[in-house]
Amino acid sequence: MNRSHCLAALAFAASTAAAATNGEAPTDTSTFTVIFENDLFAGTDGEYTNGVQIGWLSPDLKTYEDEARLPHWLLPLVHRLPFVNVPDAQHNVGFTIGQQIFTPEDTQARNVVENDRPYAGWLYGGLSFISKNEHVLDTVELQLGVVGPWALAEEGQKLVHDLRGFDSPRGWSHQLDNEPGMNLIYQNKRRLFRSTNATGLGYDVISHLGGSVGNVSTYLNAGSEVRFGWNLPGDYGTAIIRAGGDPNAPSSVNDPRLKRGREALGIYFFGGVSGRWVLHDIFLDGNSFAGGHSVDKENLVGDALVGAAITFGSFKLSYTQNLRSREFRGQNDPHNFGSMSLSYTF
């Protein structure tokens, strides 16, 4: 399947979505989120070894013109975007910056580890546009960044290792070359089931479906998440670093972060699965135009996650343990990493 077929498949998937209607009053709040991921939570140091992302999501907007930070010349392009210009829905604009670091399992080898993934870093910024109601959320996101030494992954990993007294990795001279990166991402999230009570003990089931096209990542993905607990937040699930915007922001006036007193406190547990059909991954396939180290990727990659979250006042704190299947042929074991997320709604 080539990239044009991938886009066609995304369009077909999106066409099954019912049009969003505004069943909830808009929330006049912004959400700021910080996510930190590391495999040290699982006692390892390699593969996808570290990720940091900072994001901001606007208050609910009737139209994108209501977001004064958007330049006027961009608005005609935004109105041409598919999926996120649904009439009568609430809209949001999001900004993210982040960095991800990838290394082979053996970071003390000075030479290329032939049967393991290359050293690589990804430094990026993202601009996302969202159309949502209480039951459906659609996101189109554009990520722009750089892969290679300019991503500052070597400096970042060595600094952390020095601060914690770990051995410094020795193979960064073999990392991927500098290459500008771009991903165009679409994600659809649906609240498939939810208990009838808005507060107190409850549960919900949230699905996601979408994909990415770009020289960094090209894939289709689908999955779901189940949440159970007290005063569930009215958002769209767990925030780990993945394309498709920030699901942490409230999408309902019943969200505990918009309330006071006992109703502002909530706690829940969650579990989920996600699968990707990977057509291209620069962190495994290597640079697009330059020779260099690469490995034979697995086309089907799965994730299983469990975790817990708490909302208190305007804050939401969550921890996720993520188990990822082998991403390339020759990988010794599935990869395990932890993710901590803190969001503040104001």
Candidates 55, 103, 71; CA nearest to 248 is: 55
Instruction: For residue range 305-345, list pLDDT tens digits in order.
Output: 999 999 999 999 999 999 999 999 999 999 999 999 999 99
**Token pair belonging to 77:** 């392009």
Give the other-Cβ count within 10 Å of 305's Cβ: 19
Is residue 68 predicted with pLDDT exceeding 80? Answer: yes
More confident position, 41 or 98: 98
Residue type, 112: V
Q: Is it the case that residue 155 has pLDDT exceeding 60?
A: yes
Tokens of 326: 């082998």
pLDDT per position as a tens digit, 206-235: 999 999 999 999 999 999 999 999 999 989
Q: What is the number of domains present in the chain?
A: 1
- pLDDT score at 318: 96
Q: What is the DSSP letter of 328?
A: B
Beta partners for residue 37, in sequence order = 51, 339
pLDDT at 194: 92
* Cβ neighbours of residue 240 closer than 8 Å, sequence gap 6 or more: 35, 37, 305, 320, 322, 339, 341
Q: How confident is the model at residue 44 (pLDDT cuts 50, 70, 90)?
A: confident
Residue carrying the six token digits 């992302």:
53
pLDDT one-digit tens code per residue, 245-280: 667 778 777 788 888 777 789 999 999 999 999 999
Q: Say whether pLDDT at 19 is over 50.
A: no
Mean pLDDT calculated for residue range 112-136 = 95
Residue-range definition of the domain harbouring residue 221: 3-345
What is the residue whose two structure tokens read 């997320």? 341
pLDDT at 64 over 90: yes
Mean pLDDT taken over the chain: 89
pTM flag (> 0.95): no
Contact predicate 32/346, CB 8 Å: yes
Helix, strand or coil for residue 68?
Answer: coil
**Strands, DSSP E only, in the chain?**
31-38, 47-57, 90-103, 120-132, 136-147, 179-194, 201-214, 217-230, 265-281, 300-312, 315-324, 335-345
Mean pLDDT of 144-152: 98
Residue 9 has pLDDT above 60, yes or no: no
How would you classify the pairing of strands 120-132 and 179-194?
unpaired
Residues 6+ apart with CB under 8 A from 317: 309, 310, 340, 341, 342
Percent of the chain topping pLDDT 90: 74
The CATH number given to whatever domain includes residue 251 is 2.40.128.140
pLDDT tens profile 176-205? 999 999 999 999 999 999 997 778 999 999
Please report the pLDDT score of residue 23 as a whole number.
Answer: 42
96 has a pLDDT exceeding 90: yes
- Which is more confident, 166 or 7? 166
Nearest to 251 by CA among 95, 139, 94, 91: 91
> Which residues 6+ apart lie within 8 Å of 276 measured at CB?
219, 220, 221, 300, 301, 302, 303
Total H helices, total E strands in the chain: 4, 12
Task: Please report the pLDDT score of residue 15 as a whole number.
Answer: 43
Share of the chain above pLDDT 70, in %: 91
- Cβ count within 10 A of residue 165: 6
- Rounded mean pLDDT, 117-137: 96
Q: Which residue would you say has higher pLDDT here, 147 or 22?
A: 147
Based on the number of CB atoms within 10 Å of its own CB, is 28 exposed (0-12), middle (13-18) or buried (19 or more)?
exposed
For tokens 């104001």, name the residue.
Answer: 346
- Measured from the Cβ of residue 22, the count of other Cβ atoms closer than 10 Å reads 16
Q: How many residues does the chain have?
A: 346
- Sign of the Cα pseudo-torsion (210, 213, 217, 218, in order): positive
Q: CA 244 to CA 247: how far, in whole Å?
A: 9
